[in-house]
Structures are given as structure tokens and as C-alpha cells.
């Protein structure tokens, strides 16, 4: 380190508080626009990539953004449900592979996604350990969710009740973890996947309970008429699916009417996609969306807001730099005697300017380092931050 | 003239407002010679030192220091000359409070590449601190030293470059009797070792017997 740089460093070290405030202020001035830009760009890339990987989303009419975010990121408010029959309807067209999505419940803060095995194939999700769910009550856990929840194959997870005091509401279901997915670098890492029927069990649409038709079951039966049995509250309803009670689980009503959050449609090529979209044109009961288009519209708004924010930050930056310059000017005035001593000792011309320059350079360098670190962190967590922001 | 450490010839120096005028018809200080300058406050003692060091430039006449006519040099050359060949002890010490005692002593080395901050320079700085009783306080910040300690650090800073001319402005001004003696011993000893001329401004007439000669600045006007 040169002598002047050393003297500058000692001065800044002696005045830690002022130096720290200057570094923090400058770092913020640099970080805010740069971090915002990185945040938005990274988030946009991640959002676009996920959206492009999902050709079409079919759902009930409502907010396209809500539907796309719920389908792609398992976040946001629950859109209006679409019946399971929509999956069969799309499959029958032969224009796309339809994948049901049921996103409503959570376990340990992680979304429980009810779907079919086709989802894992279309998303190219690989099992790192264990296997995919094969029967009701089994689940496979995304990589980061497994880490956060501390589960391995063979462990169990319990779904969270939606409302604690609603006795007629959704009961928790104990699910067996059969596998952990390999990291995929997306929202699938943070989710818990079950068969869509398991999701309906959590919702109470499919259920299992003690046998009411067999011998010795009269204790809980209130009435039997025309094949319909009315029972009292002493009937045991299962909250865990085991090989012993698996057969007791049954549907009530038409499964085709069971709710889904959305249906993902994966057409084999562009023509099929266009044809499928044409089938839904003018439909008031359904909407079909290209997630890429919805995300682009959303990002256009985000970019417009970003421009305004950057302009505002620019003004703040000018003010901050002016205050920073004022601090150095005032500091130089207070240090006139010190600088005069350097001259009397015989410091070469320009030493004082070099000393102040070195101090400014050190403060600026430190601020850039801090800002760089913050930008790095922002880039790392950008997709997560923007998704959370959008979801809220 | 070349063997003179300091030579003033018909020097005239005034401050801008004309209230103060210093005239020195002739002043000579031989190499290795030790002299004291006395005089009342405001008589020009400090100005005389500044002229000898090239900090101030006379309006008339010539000042030669170490055989170099510094009054004819430009500002950059005078600075170069001063930092390498002249040791200065200022009246109010003028230490940099944010530096340690050792860093203050080594300050000239940090200000110019003409002086090389090597192990020998560091050893010399530490040795000077040791000799002035500050051996264990090299790392202490200047603003945490007592007045007497600060004064000793200022003396060490003047001596560290092994100057040919040592100019000291009231170097014992704030010291007790014991420390006065130590500082004066140090100045005289180091000047002797280096063969440097020593010119000390002082109010303390008790110190005058320690110098080969002394003069009142008012008597130099001729």
C-alpha cells in the first residue's frame, strides 16, 4: 500500500462511524438501481423460462395472473376451481396431454400439489431417492422442501388444517414420503406432490371410514334406507391411509365434478396448440392461457414501474452524492491544520489532493464492494423475491 | 559559504498587511553547530525557522541551507529539499491524531518516495521512541498521549530522516524539568551523532548554557 493510501486508510479507520455512514449511503445509491435492475431481469428470465415450459393453462374464468401464478408457482390466491372433467375433455380432443393440478393445501408451509405422473414427465422431474407416489396417501417431496422439512423417504408429513376451529372443514391427512426429487431449480423444488386423489382426500371429497354395512357395525348407524346409511359421530374416519384401510376409501358423487386449480395442457406441436386454443375461443365457462403471454404482460408493467423507480432513485442518488461531497469538503476544512503540517514537513505538491482522493477512492471502493455483494444476493434470490411480491 | 549549515544574507520578510517585518542582515550557523534563538513573542523567531526551512521565502536577500540557496528554489524543489534534509519540531507538535506514535514518527516516509520506508527506517523510528521513553507506546494513537509524550513524538519525527539541519520551535515548552533535560539531551545527542546543525527557538533562558551560542532575533537586523 502506498504511503498516502495508508494514511487515508488510517484516517477512515479512525472515523469509523462517519466512514461507515458514507459507505452505506453510497452502497445504497449504487445498489438500489443496479439491484433493482438485476432483480427484475433475473426474475423476468426465471418467470419467462417457467412460463415458456408450460404451453397452455386451462382454468375457470378470473384473473389470468392468479391462474398462471397458481399453476406455475403454487402461490397466489386460489383461483376459481375447474372440474376434473376438463382433463378428460382435453384428452379426448387428442390435441394435448392434459395434466390436472390441485393446489390448495399446505404442509409445513409447503404447497401440496395434487397431480398425476404425467406432471413429472412433462417437467422432467427426476427422483433422487425413493420413488414416485404409487397409491393414495403417498407423497414425493421437492429437494428444497425436503431439506426445509427435514424428511426422507419413509417419513411422514401431515397436511395443515385450513381452519383450526372449523369442525366440519378439512381434516389433516398423514402422508407417507416415498421419494425426494432431484433439484430442478424452480418452484417444484419447494413443493410436496401427491396424486390428485390424495388432494381430494385432504379436501374431504374422497374418504375412508369404518365399515357401516358389515356385521357388528350397528352401534354407529342411525338409519338404513334404500342403500343409504346414516351414521352418528362415533364412526371412525381415517386420517392416514394404510394397506388395511385403503379399500375403504371411496368417492362420493361424480369424480368428473371434483375441483382442480387448473389443467396444464402440453400439445405436441404449435398447430395442436393453436387448434386447442381455438376450441376455447369464446368460452365463458373456461379460459385458456399461454403463460408466456400472461407473464410478458405482467413484466411489461413491472418494467414500466422499474423505470419510474430508477428515475426516482437517480434523484436520491444525486442528493446523496451532493451530501457526500459536502462531508468531504467540510472534513477538508476541519483538517486544514493537518494539511498545513504536511506541507510544512515537505509533502510534495498534490499530496493533500491525493490523500483526499485516496479517502474518496477507499470509501467508493468499499461502497462498490458492499453494493456488489448486495447485488449478488439480490440476483441469487431474485426469482423468489419477485414471486413472493407478485403473489402478495 | 558552502560549509555553512544556515546562511542568511540581507534577508527581509514581511507579512502582507505590513504589520510585521523581519530583517536579518547576516546569520551564519556552521555545520554541526548548536545555537539558540531567543526573543519576545512576535519578534519573528518562528518566521526565522520557516525561512531557514524554506517554508517561507524572503522578499529580499538570500537564504542558504546546507549550501543550497533555497530562497531561489521553486515551491516543489523546496519541499523536496525540506523533507529530506531538514528536521522540524513545531511549536504545537502538529501530530496527526488519527495515527499512532510510530506512524507519526514515520510520517515523512509516507509522504514522499524520495525517502524509502525500509526496515532500517522502522528500526530508527522505534529506537528514537525507545530513547525518548516511548518504547512501549509506539502503537498508541497520538490523541491518547500526554502533552509531554506528544512533544517527544514530534522530536522523534524531526530526527527520523537523519537531517543535516534540525530546527526546533520551543521543543521543551510544555515539559517538566526532567523531560526538558531528556529532550534537549536527545536533540543535542542526535545532532552530534549526525553532525547536524541545531537551531532551537526557546523562551527558556536556563537552557542557553547548553548551546554553543545564542542570539536575540532583534539583534540580527544589523
Q: What tens digit of pLDDT does each residue of A86-125 get?
A: 999 999 999 999 999 999 999 998 999 999 999 999 999 9
B76/A348 touch (CB, cutoff 8 Å), yes or no: yes
pLDDT for A203 beyond 90: no
* pLDDT value of position A320: 87
Nearest CB partner across the interface for B79, out of A14, A341, A346: A346
Cβ distance A3 to B94 less than 8 Å, yes or no, reads no
Nearest CA among A20, A26, A34, A29 for reference residue A316: A29
Residue A27 CA, chain-centre distance (Å), reads 28
3-state class of A126 per DSSP?
A: coil
Q: Which residues of B fall within a CB distance of 8 Å from A345?
A: 82-83, 88, 107-108, 111, 157
Q: Which of A345, A347, A354 should we substitute to test contact with B (largest number of B Cβ atoms within 10 Å)?
A: A345
Residue of B nearest to A337 (CA): B94
Least confident of A93-102, A242-251, A286-295: A242-251
The domain in which residue B124 lies consists of 4-221
Taking the CA of residue A345 and the nearest CA in chain B, the distance in Å comes to 6
What pLDDT does A281 receive? Answer: 86
Q: Which of B92, B110, B116 to mutate to test the interface with A (most CBs of A within 10 A)?
A: B110
CB contact under 8 A, A348 and B111: yes
For residue A75, the model assigns a pLDDT of 75
Check if B19 contacts A (Cβ < 8 Å). Answer: no
Least confident range from A20-29, A232-241, B5-14: namely A232-241
CA-based nearest residue in chain B for residue A6: B110
Question: What are phi and psi for residue A249, nearest 5 degrees?
Answer: -80, 135
**Burial bucket for residue A118 (CB in 10 Å: 0-12, 13-18, 19+):** middle
Q: Which residues, at least 6 apart from B76, have a Cβ–Cβ distance to it below 8 Å?
A: A348, A349
Backbone angles phi, psi at A130, to 5 degrees: 85, -145
Look at B97 and A4 and tell me if their CB atoms are within 8 Å. no
User: Which of A5, A11, A346 should we substitute to test contact with B (largest number of B Cβ atoms within 10 Å)?
Assistant: A346
Helix (H) or strand (E) holding B54: none
The answer to whether the CB of B60 falls within 8 A of the CB of B10 is: yes
ipTM reported for the complex surpasses 0.95: no
Nearest CA in chain A to B93: A341
Q: Report in angstroms the alpha-carbon separations of B21 from A229, B6, B11, B38, B69.
A: 123, 20, 10, 17, 21
Interface test with A, best of B57, B68, B77, B79 (most A CBs within 10 A): B79
Count chain A–chain B contacts defined by CB atoms under 8 A. 66
Give residue-wise pLDDT tens across range A148-188. Answer: 999 999 999 998 876 666 555 567 888 999 999 999 888 89
Q: What is the CA radius of gyration of chain B?
A: 17
In terms of DSSP H, where are the helices of B91-164? Answer: 101-105, 107-111, 119-131, 147-159
Please write down the HEC assignment for all residues of A293-337: HHHHHHHHHHHHHHHHHHHHHHHHHHHHHHHHHHHHHHHHHHCHH
- In chain A, what residues touch B86 (CB-CB under 8 Å)? 346
Instruction: Considering only the beta carbons, identify the residue of A3, A11, A347 that sits closest to B98.
Output: A11
User: How many structural domains are present in chain B?
Assistant: 1
Among the partner-chain residues B50, B83, B141, the one whose CB lies closest to the CB of A345 is B83
- Tell me which chain B residues have a C-beta less than 8 angstroms from the C-beta of A14: 97-98, 141
- Please give the residue of chain B at the shortest CA–CA distance from A11: B98
Question: CA B95, B98, B102: angle at the middle one, nearest 5?
Answer: 65
Give, as one character, the DSSP assignment of residue A161: P
Contact B48, B24 (CB under 8 A): yes
Alpha-carbon gap: A111 to the closest alpha carbon of chain B (Å): 57
**Cβ–Cβ < 8 Å for B78, B33:** no
Please, are residues B45 and B202 in contact by the beta-carbon 8 Å criterion?
no
Asked if B188 reaches chain A (Cβ–Cβ under 8 Å), the answer is: no
Closest residue in A to B105 (Cα–Cα):
A345
Question: B167 — phi, psi (to 5°)?
Answer: -115, 120
- Average pLDDT of chain B to the nearest whole number: 89
**Mean pLDDT, residues A56-66:** 91
- For A338, the closest chain B residue by CA position comes to B96
Average pLDDT for A258-280: 92
pLDDT band of residue A392 (cuts 50, 70, 90) is very low
**3-state secondary structure (DSSP) of residue A128:** strand
CB-CB contact of B54 with B70 (8 Å): yes
Q: What is the mean pLDDT of residues B10-21?
A: 82
Q: Cα distance from B211 to chain A (closest Cα, Å)?
A: 25
Nearest Cβ partner for B98 among A4, A10, A337: A10
CATH of the domain at B149: 3.40.50.300
CB contact under 8 A, B111 and A342: yes
Amino acid at each position: 500500500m502506498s504511503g498516502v493510501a495508508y494514511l487515508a486508510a488510517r484516517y477512515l479507520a479512525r472515523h469509523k462511524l462517519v466512514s461507515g455512514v458514507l459507505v452505506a449511503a453510497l452502497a445504497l445509491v449504487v445498489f438500489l438501481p443496479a439491484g433493482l435492475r438485476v432483480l427484475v431481469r433475473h426474475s423476468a428470465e426465471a418467470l419467462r423460462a417457467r412460463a415458456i415450459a408450460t404451453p397452455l393453462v386451462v382454468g375457470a374464468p378470473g384473473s389470468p395472473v392468479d391462474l398462471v401464478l397458481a399453476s406455475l408457482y403454487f402461490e397466489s390466491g386460489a383461483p376459481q376451481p375447474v372440474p376434473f372433467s376438463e382433463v378428460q375433455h382435453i384428452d379426448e380432443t387428442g390435441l394435448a396431454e392434459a395434466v390436472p393440478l390441485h393446489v390448495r393445501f399446505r404442509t409445513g408451509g409447503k404447497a401440496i400439489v395434487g397431480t398425476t405422473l404425467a406432471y413429472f414427465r412433462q417437467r422432467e422431474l427426476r427422483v433422487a431417492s425413493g420413488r414416485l407416489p404409487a397409491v393414495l396417501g403417498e407423497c414425493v417431496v421437492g429437494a428444497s422442501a425436503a431439506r426445509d422439512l427435514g424428511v426422507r423417504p419413509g417419513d411422514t408429513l401431515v397436511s395443515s388444517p385450513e381452519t383450526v376451529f372449523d369442525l366440519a372443514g378439512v381434516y389433516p391427512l398423514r402422508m407417507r414420503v416415498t421419494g425426494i426429487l432431484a433439484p430442478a431449480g424452480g418452484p417444484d423444488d419447494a413443493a410436496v406432490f401427491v396424486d390428485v386423489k390424495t388432494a381430494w382426500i385432504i379436501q374431504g371429497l374422497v374418504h375412508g371410514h369404518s365399515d357401516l354395512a358389515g356385521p357388528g357395525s350397528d352401534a354407529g348407524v342411525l338409519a338404513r334406507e334404500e342403500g343409504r346409511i346414516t351414521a352418528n359421530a362415533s364412526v371412525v374416519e381415517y386420517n392416514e391411509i394404510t394397506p388395511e384401510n385403503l379399500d375403504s376409501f371411496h368417492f362420493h358423487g361424480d369424480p368428473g365434478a371434483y375441483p382442480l386449480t387448473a389443467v396444464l395442457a402440453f400439445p405436441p406441436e404449435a398447430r395442436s396448440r393453436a387448434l386447442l386454443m381455438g376450441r376455447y375461443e369464446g368460452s365463458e365457462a373456461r379460459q385458456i392461457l399461454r403463460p408466456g403471454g400472461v407473464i410478458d404482460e405482467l413484466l411489461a408493467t413491472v418494467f414500466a414501474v422499474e423505470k419510474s423507480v430508477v428515475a426516482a432513485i437517480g434523484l436520491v442518488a444525486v442528493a446523496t452524492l451532493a451530501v457526500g461531497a459536502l462531508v468531504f469538503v467540510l472534513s477538508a476544512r476541519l483538517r486544514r491544520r493537518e494539511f498545513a503540517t504536511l506541507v510544512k514537513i515537505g509533502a510534495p505538491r498534490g499530496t493533500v489532493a491525493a490523500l483526499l482522493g485516496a479517502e474518496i477512492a477507499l470509501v467508493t471502493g468499499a461502497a462498490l464492494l458492499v453494493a456488489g455483494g448486495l447485488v449478488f444476493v439480490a440476483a441469487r434470490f431474485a426469482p423468489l423475491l419477485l414471486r413472493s411480491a407478485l403473489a402478495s | 559559504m558552502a560549509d555553512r549549515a544556515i546562511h542568511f544574507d540581507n534577508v527581509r520578510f514581511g507579512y502582507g498587511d505590513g504589520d510585521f517585518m523581519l530583517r536579518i542582515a547576516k546569520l551564519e550557523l556552521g555545520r554541526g553547530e548548536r545555537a539558540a534563538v531567543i526573543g519576545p513573542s512576535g519578534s519573528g523567531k518562528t518566521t526565522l525557522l520557516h525561512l531557514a526551512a524554506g517554508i517561507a521565502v524572503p522578499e529580499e536577500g538570500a537564504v542558504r541551507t546546507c549550501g543550497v540557496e533555497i530562497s531561489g528554489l521553486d515551491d516543489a524543489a523546496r519541499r523536496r529539499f525540506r523533507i529530506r534534509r531538514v528536521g522540524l519540531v513545531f511549536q504545537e507538535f502538529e501530530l496527526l491524531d488519527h495515527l499512532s506514535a510510530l506512524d507519526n514518527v514515520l510520517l515523512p516516509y509516507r509522504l514522499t518516495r524520495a525517502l524509502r520506508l525500509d526496515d532500517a527506517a522502522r528500526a530508527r523510528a522505534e529506537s528514537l521512541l525507545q530513547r525518548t521513553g516511548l518504547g512501549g507506546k509506539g502503537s498508541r494513537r497520538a490523541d491518547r498521549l500526554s502533552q509531554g509524550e506528544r512533544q517527544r513524538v514530534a522530536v522523534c519525527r524531526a530526527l527520523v530522516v537523519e537531517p543535516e539541519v534540525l530546527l526546533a520551535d520551543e521543543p521543551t515548552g510544555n515539559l517538566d524539568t526532567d523531560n526538558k533535560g531528556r529532550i534537549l539531551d536527545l536533540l543535542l545527542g542526535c545532532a552530534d551523532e549526525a553532525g547536524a546543525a541545531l537551531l532551537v527557538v526557546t523562551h527558556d533562558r536556563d537552557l542557553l548554557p547548553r548551546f554553543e551560542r545564542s542570539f536575540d532575533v532583534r539583534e540580527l537586523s544589523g
